[in-house]
Amino acid sequence: MTDVTIKLHNSKTRKKEIFAPLDPKNVRMYVCGPTVYDRAHLGNARPVIVFDVLYRLLRHVYGEDHVTYVRNFTDVDDKINATALARKEAGAAGTLEDLVAERSNETISWYLKDMGALGALEPNEMPRATAYITQMIAMIESLIAKGHAYADGAGHVLFSVKSYKDYGHLSGRSVDDMIAGARVEVAHNKRDPMDFVLWKPSTDDLPGWDSPWGRGRPGWHIECSAMSHELLGDSFDIHGGGNDLQFPHHENEIAQSRCAHPEGEFARYWLHNEMLQVEGKKMSKSLGNFFTVRDLLDKGVPGEVIRFVFLSTHYGKPMDWTEKKAKEAEKTLRAIAQVFGGDPQTQEWYIPSAAHTPQEVLDALCNDLNTSLALTLVKKYAKNHEAAKLDASLRLLGFDPDELVAKYNSFGVSAGSNGVVEGVSYHDDGSIPFAASEVLLKASQRLEEERKKAMETKDFSEVDRLKSALLDAGVEVRMSKAGVELLPGADFDASKLEALK
């Protein structure tokens, strides 16, 4: 499908450009991954979901075997060391290096499981910084030899920012502006305040590696430069991450990589997602609105809901996570599930076909990943019961229709105005147990009877009481001329309805 035109907003040029890969048979993308010292918070998940959609789009257009997606793990970091040291002081067995490795492995496992719950595919390559120390040292040696870096004689190596004339081009700021507006570490071993660390010494008790400048460990920025070069080459297509990484991390990556490998372009297209807020405020522990992806999952917020809320806002705009949006997303997913599945005894299930993705959905995603428009189209297909279009669109956006049916099979139960009561059998692994259907059937029938009485007597007190009890039990109540429909939610508690009289 290489005749499809993809347009992406390139942070480097500050405009939307037609995406033309260096090699359509090997489209290459690098995204900065997490520092693995703790659980991923909700903001960490946004770039994962954004670039997962881009990865899926590139695979759709160029072929699954023609896209290489690299996302790293930073497992060399002071925060990891501090966490391991705290464990050691608490009596944990093993050396500090053992505890650092143990913590990194544990956190990486958590991360992959949590991101998988959000529907994210695993990248083709997930390099760990500790596996590329040799390449980092070689790159640093090259920078020194070319006059772009210098050793201070005390175990540090620093990059000379003024040696790279285009420094600041990505973020659009001059070096003088950066010094004035940033918290720049002024140290006696720096030739210039903007110079940054490529290598630093390690004490005997901290993780470290032998190098020409003594036992030490790499600076943060050199890690991504070395790993992307080793896995993707001198030049590759896309580099992505949150806009909080644009300066200094990505700016420093460009300087290092272009100076070490001047024959290459490094990354040709730069994509940055905006930050996340919670209920209109910046997420922070001091405000009590800081939580991890696992916190939400454990509270019963499904991964599909998180993904749906995230994709409802364009990646280039700030995103606000709210409980209201989460509830609306779940309601939409339940409506989608109605298109695909129902009671297998009364109606046929939708059988996925090899339907093509609707052109209008593909156009939306090809237009700088307009996921908000794509989801608007998804809602339209659900409303019109266009199952084939809905199926293909959802899959490209990273939703599994079979999983949606299993989790959100919300045909519920209804009592129509004709007095016929219809029910549904539930999946054993779904959120609604099979045994609850009878309780809901009775409640639906009871509410319909009381509504008919109220229409005659104009006394709706009993209807209101029943609705209140149903809502308290986690059931959405829909009443129309056609009758009553009850839709059990994720927090449905059938026991609260058993005593309903």
Question: What pLDDT is recorded for position 438?
Answer: 63
CA distance 125 to 130: 15
Q: What tokens were used for 315?
A: 């990646």
Three-class DSSP labels, 340-353: HCCCCCCCCCCCCC
The Cα 67–Cα 159 span in angstroms is: 32
Tokens of 368: 């700088």
Which domains occur in the chain, in start order?
7-273 (3.40.50.620), 293-408 (no CATH), 428-500 (no CATH)
| pLDDT the model gives residue 132 | 97
Annotation: binding site: 32, 224, 249, 253, 285
Nearest to 207 by CA among 216, 199, 198: 216
Structure tokens belonging to residue 256 = 């290092």
Confidence at residue 180, expressed as pLDDT on a 0 to 100 scale: 53
Please state the residue numbers annotated as binding site for ATP: 285
Residues 6+ apart with CB under 8 A from 107: 36, 37, 38, 39
- Amino acid 92: pLDDT: 87
Task: Note the pLDDT of residue 501.
Answer: 60
pTM of whole model > 0.85? no
Chain position carrying tokens 């430069």: 225
Annotated binding site for Zn(2+): 32, 224, 249, 253
Strands 216-218 and 196-201 come out as: antiparallel
Amino acid 187: pLDDT: 65
Residues in the chain: 501
Mapped to the 3 state alphabet, what secondary structure does 310-343 carry? HHCCCCCCCEEECHHHHHHHHHHHHHHHHHHCCC
Please list the pLDDT of the chain residue by residue as tens digits (501 residues). 657 999 999 999 999 999 999 999 999 999 999 999 999 999 999 999 999 999 999 999 999 999 999 999 999 988 888 888 888 888 888 888 888 888 899 999 999 999 999 999 999 999 999 999 999 999 999 999 999 999 999 999 999 999 999 999 999 877 776 665 454 555 678 999 999 999 999 988 888 999 999 999 999 999 999 999 999 999 999 999 999 999 999 999 999 999 999 999 999 999 999 999 999 999 888 888 889 999 999 998 999 999 999 999 999 999 999 999 999 999 999 889 888 865 444 445 565 666 789 999 999 999 999 999 999 999 999 999 898 999 999 999 999 988 888 777 644 444 544 433 344 333 333 334 334 556 777 788 888 888 888 888 888 888 888 888 888 888 888 776 667 777 777 677 777 776 666
Cα pseudo-dihedral 91, 92, 97, 103, rounded to 10: -130
Q: Residue 28's pLDDT is what? A: 98
Give SS3 for 28. Answer: strand
